Structure 1
Amino acid sequence: MTKRIISFFTVFILLFVSNILPVSASSTYCYINGEKHFITQRNVYHNGQSISLASEPALVVEGYNYIPAKAFISQMADITYSYQSSSKKITITNTKTSDVLILSLNSKTGTFNGKSITLSCAPVPVSFTSGGDYSVYIPAKDTASYMGLSYSYSNSGKKILYTSESGNTMDDDNNDYTFKETITLSRPSTVSKGTISCTDDYHNKRLVITIPGNYTTFYNNNKPSLPSGVSFSHSYSSSTGKTSLIFITSSINGWRIKETSSKILIMNGKPTNMFKNVIVLDPGHGGSDPGACYGNLYKEADFTLGIVKAAARLFEQDNDYKVYCTRLSNTLPSGISKVWDRRTFANNLGADIFVSVHINSSTASSATGTETLYNSKHNVSNSGGLTCYKLASIVQTYIQAATGFKDRGVKVDSTLSVLLKNNNPAVLTEIGFISNLAEAKSMAANLDSYGEALYNAIVKASCDYPTGR
Structure 2
Amino acid sequence: MNNLKKSIAYLSIMMLTAATIPASTVNAASVPKAGKYYTLKIAGKKQKKKCRNVKVNGKTVKTYAPGFSRANTSMYSAYWLFKKQKSLGVSYSYSSKTKKVTLKRGSKSVVMTLDSMYAYVNGKKTKMPTPARKVYSYAKKKNYIYVPGAFCAKNLGHSYKWSGSQKSGLITTKKLPSTNTGGSSNSGASSSSGTSSITPGTRITASASNYSVRIKKPKGLASSAISTSDDYDNRRLIIKVKGNYKTHFSSSSNRYIKTDKYFRSYTVTYSGGYTNIYIRPRKDVIKAYAVSQTSDYIYIKYDSPKKIYNRIVVLDAGHGGSDSGATGNGLREKDLTLKIVKSAKSYFDKNSGYKVYYTRLSDWYPSLSYRSDLANNVGADRFISVHINSATPSAHGTETLYNSKGYKSTSGLTSYNWSNKIHGYVRPATGFTNRGLKNRTGLAVLRNTKTASSLTEIGFISNKTEAKKMKSNTGTYGKAVYNAIVNSFSTYPSKR
TM-score range, shorter chain: 0.5 to 0.7
Aligned to 1:270: 304
| 8 Å CA contact 2:205, 2:292 repeated in 1 | no
3-state secondary structure, aligned to 2:249 = helix
- Which residue of 403, 412, 420 corresponds with 1:393? 420
C-alpha distance in 2 between matches for 1:14 and 1:193 = 28
- Which residue of 261, 274, 278 corresponds with 1:246? 278
C-alpha distance in 2 between matches for 1:286 and 1:174 = 30
Distance 1:20 1:415, change over 3 A: farther
Aligned to 1:412: 439
| 8 Å CA contact 1:13, 1:163 repeated in 2 | no
> What is the Cα deviation at residue 270 of structure 1?
0.2
Distance 1:348 1:384, change over 3 A: same
- Could you give the per-residue CA deviations for residues 15-52 of structure 1, whole angstroms, max 9, x where no partner exists? 5567699xxxxxxxxxxxxxxxxxxxxx999xxxxxxx
- Could you give the per-residue CA deviations for residues 259-312 of structure 1, whole angstroms, max 9, x where no partner exists? 2222212121100111111111111000101111125x3211111111112222
| 8 Å CA contact 1:195, 1:211 repeated in 2 | yes
1:358-373 equivalence runs, <5 A: 358-362=387-391, 364-373=392-401
Distance 1:309 1:422, change over 3 A: same
> What is the Cα deviation at residue 454 of structure 1?
0.8
> What is the Cα deviation at residue 242 of structure 1?
1.2
| 8 Å CA contact 1:386, 1:461 repeated in 2 | no
> What is the Cα deviation at residue 200 of structure 1?
0.8
Aligned to 2:373: 344
3-state secondary structure, aligned to 1:197 = strand
- Which residue of 168, 181, 184 corresponds with 2:194? 168
Give the structure with the larger helix fraction: 2
| Matched length | 321
Q: Structure with the greater relative contact order (CA < 8 A, sep ≥ 6): 1 or 2?
A: 1
C-alpha distance in 2 between matches for 1:166 and 1:265 = 15
| 8 Å CA contact 1:20, 1:460 repeated in 2 | no
1:33-44 equivalence runs, <5 A: none
Amino acid aligned to 1:236: Y
Report whether the alignment pairs 1:195 with 2:225: yes
1:267-346 equivalence runs, <5 A: 267-295=301-329, 297-332=330-365, 336=366, 338-346=367-375
Aligned to 1:232: 266
3-state secondary structure, aligned to 2:255 = coil
Amino acid aligned to 2:238: V
Distance 1:13 1:152, change over 3 A: farther
Give the TM-score of the pair, scaled to structure 1: 0.63
| 8 Å CA contact 1:316, 1:323 repeated in 2 | no
Runs of 4+ off more than 4 Å: 12-21, 151-154, 162-166, 174-179
1:1-400 equivalence runs, <5 A: 16=90, 149-151=178-180, 167-171=193-197, 172-173=199-200, 177=204, 179=206, 180-221=210-251, 222-228=254-260, 229-230=262-263, 231-237=265-271, 240-249=272-281, 250=283, 251-295=285-329, 297-332=330-365, 336=366, 338-362=367-391, 364-376=392-404, 378-400=405-427
Identity, % of aligned positions: 39
> What is the Cα deviation at residue 408 of structure 1?
1.1
> What is the Cα deviation at residue 409 of structure 1?
1.0
Distance 1:429 1:149, change over 3 A: same
C-alpha distance in 2 between matches for 1:247 and 1:350 = 22
3-state secondary structure, aligned to 2:313 = strand
C-alpha distance in 2 between matches for 1:317 and 1:341 = 27
Which of structures 1 and 2 has the bigger CA Rg?
2
C-alpha distance in 1 between matches for 2:286 and 2:331 = 34
- Could you give the per-residue CA deviations for residues 42-94 of structure 1, whole angstroms, max 9, x where no partner exists? x999xxxxxxxxxxxxxxxxxxxxxxxxxxxxxxxxxxxxxxxxxxxxxxxxx
C-alpha distance in 2 between matches for 1:258 and 1:217 = 22
Unmatched 5+ stretches in structure 1: 1-11, 22-42, 46-147, 155-161
| 8 Å CA contact 2:191, 2:294 repeated in 1 | no
| 8 Å CA contact 2:411, 2:494 repeated in 1 | yes
C-alpha distance in 2 between matches for 1:282 and 1:365 = 26
Amino acid aligned to 1:345: L
Give the TM-score of the pair, scaled to structure 2: 0.59
| 8 Å CA contact 2:192, 2:294 repeated in 1 | no
3-state secondary structure, aligned to 1:194 = helix
Amino acid aligned to 1:430: E
| 8 Å CA contact 2:204, 2:290 repeated in 1 | no
> What is the Cα deviation at residue 437 of structure 1?
2.2
C-alpha distance in 2 between matches for 1:339 and 1:173 = 31
Report whether the alignment pairs 1:459 with 2:490: no
Amino acid aligned to 2:266: F
| 8 Å CA contact 2:214, 2:255 repeated in 1 | no
